[in-house]
Amino acid sequence: MPEKKEKTSWGRENCPYPAGAAYIECDEMKCTGCGICQMACSMKHYGVINKELSRIQVRKYILPLPKAIQVICAQCPDNERECEKACPIKPPAIYYDAKTRHIVIDEDRCLGQKCLHCREACSSKAIRIYPSISSKPFVCDLCDVDNIGDTRPECVDVCPFGAINFLERIEFPSIYESNDIMRRHADEKADLISKRLYPLTKYSTGYPGWR
């Protein structure tokens, strides 16, 4: 019988937590759609299991084969932070907290459901809203619920296929990192993945078909 391991993360490389600014990156090809990340997120932030209340989302497509694709806030760098730019409040109610190093939504100043310009601006729709719990949107805060800089993302710890990674943002001035390429809607990612199944279309599992 295999020995029980001490660490809580499993099935993946034993990566050290990033020291500086970091972000969550999802490997779409490894995701199988189990949704344990969603359960962990909603449990951490709201104390319930509700995949709709999760800041990481797993959407399922048929390309025509079934494929699960994750959606998560890319913690975009300065010049690419569309949500911040779109916020009508000045200074923005959704902003990147330089001290704690992740996106924060200031619920006191945020206009909530009436506005949602940030959500519209974000091409991956990573900003979520669940009106029956709160009129204010929510977004991945790297599990730093009290905004004190304690970032230990739960989803990264539980993913059985190592499809979610917590990586350091390189901040050296000579190396530019651009997350907006990652920041795509899952629908678009699905379309790209479906190219692997060329010449099949989503309408049939056979080509040219059997008719």
Partner 1 sequence: MLEVDLSNETSRIVDVTDDVKKYLGGRGLANKLLWDMVPPGTDPLGPENIIHFGVGPLTGLVGAKTVLSFKSPLTGWAGRSAVSGYFGEEVIKAQYNAGILVKGKSNKPVYLYIYDDVVEIRDASDLWGKWKQETEYILRERLNRETGEVFGVLCIGPAGENLVRYANVMTEAVHSASKWGSGAVMGSKNLKAVAVKGNKGPLYADHRQVWELYRYYATSPYTCVNKIEASRWGHTRSPSFLLRFACEGIKNNHLGYHEIAERSDYLAHYLKYFIWTDGCPGCTASCFVPFFKHNEQGAVCGDFRHDDLGGFNANIMVGYEEMAGITALVDELGMDSEEVGGLVAWAMDLYEHGIITREDLGGIDLKWGDAQATCELLKKIAYKDGRAPAALAEGFRRAYEVFGEESKWYAFEVHGCASATYDVRNKKAGNGLIYATSHNGARMGAGIISGLHEALTICIFLAGPLIQTWGSLEEASRLLLNASCGWDISTEEIKDISIRNYYFNRGISFRHGYHPSQEDFLPPRAFGEPITDKYGTTWVWDHNEFEAARKHYYTRNLGLSENGLLPENEMERLGLGFVIPELKSLGAIA
Binding site for partner 1 (CB under 8 A): 1-5, 8, 10-11, 29-30, 32-36, 39-40, 42-43, 47-53, 59-62, 64-68, 132, 158, 160-161, 196-200, 202-210
Q: Cβ of residue 166: shortest distance to partner 1, in angstroms?
A: 17
- What single letter denotes the amino acid at residue 41? C
Cα 44 to chain centroid distance, Å, stands at 15
Q: Cβ of residue 13: shortest distance to partner 1, in angstroms?
A: 15
Q: Are 136 and 109 in contact (CB under 8 A)?
A: no
- What single letter denotes the amino acid at residue 115? C
Query: CB count, 10 Å around CB of 150?
Result: 11
Q: Cβ of residue 110: shortest distance to partner 1, in angstroms?
A: 21
Q: Which is nearer to partner 1, 88 or 160 (CB)?
A: 160
Q: Are 166 and 159 in contact (CB under 8 A)?
A: no
Q: Which residues contact 66 (CB under 8 A, 6 or more apart)?
A: 33, 60
Q: Which is nearer to partner 1, 86 or 197 (CB)?
A: 197
The two structure tokens encoding residue 168: 């350091």
Residue in 70, 51, 46 with CA at minimum distance from that of residue 163: 70
Which DSSP state fits 55? S
Q: Cβ of residue 37: shortest distance to partner 1, in angstroms?
A: 11
CB-based contacts of 88-93 (< 8 A; 24+ apart in sequence): 88/115, 88/117
Q: Which is nearer to partner 1, 46 or 95 (CB)?
A: 46
Q: Cβ of residue 177: shortest distance to partner 1, in angstroms?
A: 27
Q: Which is nearer to partner 1, 29 or 170 (CB)?
A: 29
Q: Which is nearer to partner 1, 52 or 107 (CB)?
A: 52
